[in-house]
Chain A
């Protein structure tokens, strides 16, 4: 048995360990990392042994795995950054679909089962029951995903034509399941936005009751 044949046998055995390890991964980021390592090893073995189909296959899979890993890490970084800064949900935009709305179109009705969230890109939109107009850049329905009833609390109507971006709860849930770190920061972000809303409501209530935030009596 010559040395090159021996190296090929041991190399294949070594790569097989990585292939098995890749398949045992439960979440997306480690799976991609092990996928990349396997691609690199198989390319390294395919060059000296002149296995060109293997070389071409893993030459294609390697950049694909690197790109998908980059996407996942970028998502986690963006959500993490958002939690620590302005609580923006802009990171969700690449996963959303654009939809045009005409004046009079209703995006959803009060009490309807909620299935997607919207990001307002342009146009004017009004919550019918409260009469509140939503500004461009507002995200609607992100808390509905976490609420147990999944029901809309108001009706959203388009009053001036424009565009919205939408993403279904299922799509966000898929991101959540694929990537626990994303899930953790998403929960933190959703809770922070909920507390922010409660804070605003408290201030509004204080304004109504005491005639101004500054006039609120000190509490223990």
Chain B
């Protein structure tokens, strides 16, 4: 009887978002000093989404842990930034964080600003995709929306539970797909720099710090990151744009973006491209 129930659970697992996979171990190639941090990241990702998501993290990290040209410092940076970026700030994730604070006895109340596309993008793709198209047509995608997350009151906690429960369907959302593609692109750039420009690998891994938070901060950081990668890093790694100090250029733009100066980011990218004779 038990196994029949399990079979039915498996049949509807896509619909219910159930994830009963095993929790991954810390990859073998991870140095001893880094293992506690990686184990914490795996536990955090398991709480954020589930064992399969933690498996994906371990699998991605293992690609670099098994390489000889990746030292402990770079691996540690990749491990930290990847865990941070994989636990991205969508309304579900923020509700999970507030709920965790309630469990720890540090309940708080806060307002978070999002753009409408972030809220719609967190819905399952089949529902979210047509809504996103509709919002784009009426020009509402960038509409700022403020949401209150309240862990202090009874009603607020119930709302947090409801919102956090949506995590089961998060992996079917448009946002999940775009975040997955973002992390893969970031890792791909690190991987290519290790082959073509090893001195810049650390700076490229550090670019993940440009993308953070939600709402306008997130959008601006993401736009800066894509500008840096498409305008400088990719052309240099493709061999199409000569640049003597890629690491320095990437570090400079990362700092400018973290300071919130998107205009100066765009200006620096333009200057570097002009200096390299690669147009504007």
Interface of A with B (CB < 8 Å)?
104, 106, 109-113, 128, 155
Question: B143 contacts the other chain (Cβ, under 8 Å)?
Answer: no
Q: Is the Cβ of B63 less than 8 Å from the Cβ of A106?
A: no
Q: Is the Cβ of A109 less than 8 Å from the Cβ of B59?
A: no
Task: Name the one of B181, B184, B230 contacting A104, with C-beta atoms under 8 angstroms.
Answer: B230
Q: Is the Cβ of A111 less than 8 Å from the Cβ of B185?
A: no
CA distance A112 to B182 in the complex (A): 12
Question: B203 contacts the other chain (Cβ, under 8 Å)?
Answer: no
Q: Is the Cβ of B63 less than 8 Å from the Cβ of A111?
A: yes
Interface size classification for chain B: 10 to 19
Q: Is the Cβ of A109 less than 8 Å from the Cβ of B56?
A: no
Q: Is the Cβ of A109 less than 8 Å from the Cβ of B184?
A: yes
Task: Name the one of A104, A109, A113 contacting B187, with C-beta atoms under 8 angstroms.
Answer: A109
Question: B212 contacts the other chain (Cβ, under 8 Å)?
Answer: no
Question: B44 contacts the other chain (Cβ, under 8 Å)?
Answer: no
CA distance A109 to B184 in the complex (A): 7
Q: Is the Cβ of A110 less than 8 Å from the Cβ of B230?
A: no
Q: For B187, list chain A residues within 8 Å (CB).
A: 109, 111
Task: Name the one of B56, B185, B191 contacting A106, with C-beta atoms under 8 angstroms.
Answer: B185
CA distance A128 to B191 in the complex (A): 12
Q: Is the Cβ of B191 less than 8 Å from the Cβ of A111?
A: yes
Q: Is the Cβ of A112 less than 8 Å from the Cβ of B184?
A: yes
Question: B271 contacts the other chain (Cβ, under 8 Å)?
Answer: no
Question: B112 contacts the other chain (Cβ, under 8 Å)?
Answer: no
CA distance A7 to B248 in the complex (A): 91
Question: B9 contacts the other chain (Cβ, under 8 Å)?
Answer: no
Q: For A155, list chain B residues within 8 Å (CB).
A: 188
CA distance A71 to B191 in the complex (A): 44
Question: In chain A, what residue has the closest Cβ to B230?
Answer: A104
CA distance A104 to B240 in the complex (A): 14
Q: For B185, list chain A residues within 8 Å (CB).
A: 106, 109
7 A–B contacts, CB within 8 A, in A order: A106-B184, A106-B188, A109-B187, A110-B191, A111-B63, A111-B191, A112-B184
Question: In chain B, what residue has the closest Cβ to A111?
Answer: B63
Name B160-196 residues within 8 Å CB distance of A: 181, 184-185, 187-188, 191-192
A56 vs chain B, min Cβ distance (A): 30
Q: Is the Cβ of B188 less than 8 Å from the Cβ of A110?
A: yes
